C-alpha cells in the first residue's frame, strides 16, 4: 500500500491507549465520517461509501496492521472490516488467535503461515495472489519469507464472531513484556502447577523481551529445525518399518500395493515437510496435502470469468474454493483498461468491499430513490463499500489501468445484474411492458437499449453525445464556450 503509506505521512496522528497490550495509533485521512456517518455534503459529491478512516492497530519495528472499518446499513453492524498487514523482510508475526475469521490475500511478497487446523499444526507457503482462510480462535503465526521484500497482505476481518472490542481482538500466545502472552494472566502458582515447572523456569518464557507483535526473525533456523525434524521422522519410520504415517491407509487393508502406496505417500510427506508443509505439485490439481487443511488458492492462476478488450474480472465463490463457505465470504478481482467502464450493475445477494490495488477511477453509486449516493474518485489504497442492491459503476481514469480486489458478504455465486449493455436486464426484458414502464414506445426504448453492443466492460472515453437543437458538438467544447 504505497499510497497508503504516503498518506500516513500527512495524516494527523492520534495516540490512543488500547485496552490491554497494544499501543494503538489511529490515523485519520480525509474528512470521512467514521463508519460512514450521517453527514453528507450535497448528494453525489460526497465520499460516503469510501472508507476514509484507517486505524493502526499494530505498530511494531517489524511491521504494522491497519484496519479500515466497514459499516452496516440501517443500524446493522458492519459485516466485515478490511485489514492491511505490512511486514518488513525477515519478520515474524508472533503466534496469536483472533476473535474474527480472516481471509488473507497476499498482495505483495511471500510468506509462510502456520496455524492450528483440526488439532494439527499445518503450514503453507504463500505467494503473490494466494488466498487462505484462518478461522476465528485458531492460533496462527506468519513469517515474511520474501528475500529483502516487504510482505503486504489484505484481509477480510469477519465480524460475526467478534467480541465487539475494537475492530478485532488479538490473544497472543507468544509474547513477553509487550505484547503480553495470555498465559501471563494466570497466577504464577497456577502456571507452575499446570506446566509442572519451577517459578524460575516459568519466568524464562514469560519474561522474554519481545519487541512488539511483529519481530525480526531469521527464518533459516526454522528451516534447519524442520529439516532435522523431517529427517528424524523419516528415519524413525524406517526403523519401525511402519509406514502408516498419516491416515492414508485407513479404509483399505494392508496388502503390498497399499504398502507401496504408503511408501510413496510418506516420501511425499517428507518432501512436503521440506518444502514447508505442502506438495510441490499443488497447483496442478485440487488434491489436498496429507494434513487435510486446504491449500491456498491463487487468484492470478485462475482464468478470468469474464474477459474482453476492455478488461476482465474474476469472482471466487465457495464452489471454486470451499473455505470461503465457512464464513460466507466471496472474493473478486477486476481489471479495467484505461478509460474503460464497468457498466452500471447491482449485486443482488451481497454487499461488496473493494480495495484499489492500482490506478484510479470514478465510482458512481445510486440510492434506491434514484439519486446519486456517491460519485467519488478512488486511487491505490482506497477502500470502498457497495451496499447490496445499490446500482453502481466504475470508470477507470484515462491515465492507466484500474485494478481492484475485494470481498463480498456471500460465498454463493453472485450474479451481478447489469442494467446496461448487451447482457443487461434491460435487454433481456425489452418488450411492451418495459417500454410502458418508461412511458415510451418499444421502438424508442429499443433504440436506446440496443445501442451498446458490448457487455459488462466497455470503452467510455468517447465524448458524451448531445442531442437536440441541431447541436451535436461535444459537451466539453460547449462548456468551454460557455466560459
Ligand X SMILES: *[C@@H]1O[C@H](CO)[C@@H](O)[C@H](O)[C@H]1NC(C)=O
Binding site for ligand X (CB under 6 A): 196, 367, 369, 371
User: Minimum distance between the CB of residue 257 and ligand X, rounded to whole angstroms?
Assistant: 43
Torsion, Cα 265 269 275 279, to 10 degrees, reads 40
Cβ neighbours of residue 427 under 8 Å, at least 6 residues apart? 421, 449, 450
Task: Count how many Cα atoms sit within 13 Å of the Cα of residue 475 in the half-sphere of its side chain.
Answer: 7
User: Minimum distance between the CB of residue 196 and ligand X, rounded to whole angstroms?
Assistant: 4
Q: Which is nearer to ligand X, 197 or 419 (CB)?
A: 197
Q: Which is nearer to ligand X, 39 or 305 (CB)?
A: 39
What is the spatial distance between Cα 464 and Cα 481, in angstroms, rounded to a whole number?
Answer: 16
Q: Are 461 and 341 in contact (CB under 8 A)?
A: no
Q: Are 312 and 356 in contact (CB under 8 A)?
A: no
User: Minimum distance between the CB of residue 191 and ligand X, rounded to whole angstroms?
Assistant: 14
Cβ neighbours of residue 345 under 8 Å, at least 6 residues apart? 391, 392, 393, 416, 417, 418, 419
Give residue for cell 482506497. Answer: 382
Q: Which is nearer to ligand X, 134 or 363 (CB)?
A: 363
> Long-range contacts made by residues 261-265, C-beta under 8 angstroms, separation at least 24?
265/290
What is the spatial distance between Cα 1 and Cα 64, in angstroms, rounded to a whole number?
Answer: 12
User: Minimum distance between the CB of residue 446 and ligand X, rounded to whole angstroms?
Assistant: 30
Give residue for cell 497447483. Answer: 283
User: Minimum distance between the CB of residue 203 and ligand X, rounded to whole angstroms?
Assistant: 16
Q: Are 129 and 301 in contact (CB under 8 A)?
A: yes
User: Minimum distance between the CB of residue 368 and ligand X, rounded to whole angstroms?
Assistant: 7
Q: Which is nearer to ligand X, 38 or 281 (CB)?
A: 38
What is the spatial distance between Cα 405 and Cα 422, in angstroms, rounded to a whole number?
Answer: 25
Burial class (CB in 10 A: 0-12, 13-18, 19+), 224: exposed
Q: Which is nearer to ligand X, 197 or 222 (CB)?
A: 197
Q: Which is nearer to ligand X, 191 or 411 (CB)?
A: 191
Q: Are 385 and 81 in contact (CB under 8 A)?
A: no
Cβ neighbours of residue 308 under 8 Å, at least 6 residues apart? 454, 455, 456, 457
- For residue 473, say if its preceding peptide bond is cis, omega within 30 degrees of 0: no
User: Minimum distance between the CB of residue 52 and ligand X, rounded to whole angstroms?
Assistant: 19
Exposure class string for 311-329: b at 16+ Cβ within 10 A, else e: bbbbbbbbebbebbbbbbb
Three cell numbers written together for 459: 470503452
Q: Which is nearer to ligand X, 7 or 47 (CB)?
A: 47
Torsion, Cα 436 441 443 444, to 10 degrees, reads -100
Q: What is the DSSP letter of 50?
A: B
User: Minimum distance between the CB of residue 482 and ligand X, rounded to whole angstroms?
Assistant: 27
User: Minimum distance between the CB of residue 190 and ligand X, rounded to whole angstroms?
Assistant: 15
Beta strands 111-117 and 120-126, pairing class: antiparallel
Q: Count CB neighbours of 160 within 10 A.
A: 13
Q: Which is nearer to ligand X, 19 or 371 (CB)?
A: 371
Q: Which is nearer to ligand X, 372 or 435 (CB)?
A: 372
User: Minimum distance between the CB of residue 371 and ligand X, rounded to whole angstroms?
Assistant: 4
User: Minimum distance between the CB of residue 44 and ligand X, rounded to whole angstroms?
Assistant: 10
Q: Which is nearer to ligand X, 189 or 251 (CB)?
A: 189
Helices and strands (H and E) in the chain: how many: 9, 27
User: Minimum distance between the CB of residue 325 and ligand X, rounded to whole angstroms?
Assistant: 33
Q: Which is nearer to ligand X, 186 or 367 (CB)?
A: 367
Q: Which is nearer to ligand X, 193 or 448 (CB)?
A: 193
Amino acid at each position: 500500500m504505497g499510497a497508503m503509506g504516503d498518506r500516513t505521512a500527512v495524516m494527523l496522528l492520534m495516540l490512543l491507549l488500547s485496552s490491554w497490550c497494544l499501543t494503538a495509533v489511529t490515523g485519520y485521512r480525509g474528512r470521512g465520517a467514521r463508519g460512514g456517518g450521517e453527514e453528507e455534503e450535497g448528494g453525489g459529491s460526497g465520499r460516503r461509501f469510501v472508507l476514509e478512516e484507517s486505524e493502526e492497530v499494530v505498530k511494531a519495528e517489524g511491521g504494522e496492521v491497519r484496519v479500515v472499518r466497514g459499516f452496516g446499513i440501517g443500524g446493522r453492524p458492519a459485516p466485515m472490516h478490511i485489514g492491511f498487514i505490512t511486514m518488513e523482510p525477515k519478520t515474524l508475526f508472533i503466534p496469536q488467535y483472533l476473535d474474527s475469521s480472516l481471509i488473507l490475500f497476499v498482495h505483495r511478497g511471500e510468506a509462510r503461515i502456520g496455524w492450528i487446523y483440526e488439532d494439527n499444526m499445518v503450514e503453507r507457503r504463500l505467494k503473490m495472489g494466494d488466498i487462505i482462510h484462518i478461522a476465528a480462535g485458531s492460533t496462527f503465526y506468519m513469517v515474511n519469507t520474501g528475500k529483502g521484500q516487504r510482505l503486504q497482505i489484505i484481509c477480510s476481518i469477519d465480524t460475526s464472531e467478534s467480541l465487539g472490542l475494537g475492530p478485532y481482538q488479538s490473544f497472543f500466545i507468544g509474547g513477553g513484556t509487550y505484547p503480553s502472552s495470555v498465559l501471563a494472566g494466570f497466577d504464577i502458582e497456577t502456571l507452575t502447577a499446570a506446566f509442572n515447572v519451577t517459578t524460575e523456569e516459568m519466568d524464562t518464557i514469560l519474561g522474554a523481551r519481545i519487541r512488539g507483535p511483529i519481530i525480526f526473525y531469521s527464518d533459516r533456523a526454522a528451516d534447519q529445525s524442520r529439516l532435522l525434524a523431517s529427517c528424524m521422522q523419516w528415519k524413525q519410520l524406517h526403523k519401525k518399518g511402519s509406514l502408516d504415517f498419516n491416515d492414508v491407509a485407513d479404509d483399505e487393508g494392508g496388502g503390498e500395493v497399499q504398502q507401496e502406496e504408503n511408501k510413496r505417500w510418506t516420501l511425499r510427506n517428507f518432501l512436503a515437510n521440506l518444502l514447508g508443509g505442502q506438495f510441490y505439485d499443488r497447483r496442478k490439481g485440487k488434491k489436498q496435502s496429507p494434513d487435510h487443511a486446504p491449500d491456498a488458492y491463487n487468484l492470478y492462476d485462475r482464468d478470468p470469468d469474464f474477459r474482453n478488450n476492455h478488461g476482465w474480472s474474476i469472482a471466487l465463490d465457495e464452489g471454486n474454493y470451499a473455505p470461503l463457505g465457512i464464513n460466507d465470504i466471496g472474493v473478486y478481482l477486476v481489471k479495467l483498461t484505461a478509460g474503460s467502464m464497468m457498466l452500471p450493475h447491482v449485486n443482488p445477494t451481497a454487499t461488496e468491499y473493494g480495495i484499489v490495488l492500482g490506478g484510479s477511477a470514478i465510482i458512481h453509486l445510486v440510492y434506491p430513490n434514484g439519486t446519486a449516493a456517491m460519485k467519488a474518485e478512488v486511487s491505490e489504497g482506497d477502500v470502498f463499500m457497495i451496499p447490496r442492491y445499490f446500482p453502481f459503476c466504475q470508470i477507470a481514469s484515462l491515465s492507466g489501468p484500474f485494478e481492484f480486489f475485494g470481498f463480498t458478504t456471500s460465498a454463493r455465486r453472485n450474479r451481478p445484474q447489469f442494467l446496461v449493455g448487451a447482457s443487461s436486464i434491460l435487454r433481456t426484458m425489452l418488450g411492451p411492458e418495459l417500454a410502458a414502464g418508461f412511458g415510451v414506445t418499444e421502438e424508442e426504448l429499443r433504440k436506446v437499449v440496443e445501442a451498446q453492443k458490448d457487455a459488462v466492460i466497455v470503452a467510455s472515453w468517447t465524448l458524451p453525445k448531445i442531442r437536440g437543437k441541431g447541436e451535436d458538438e461535444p459537451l466539453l467544447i460547449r462548456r468551454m464556450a460557455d466560459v
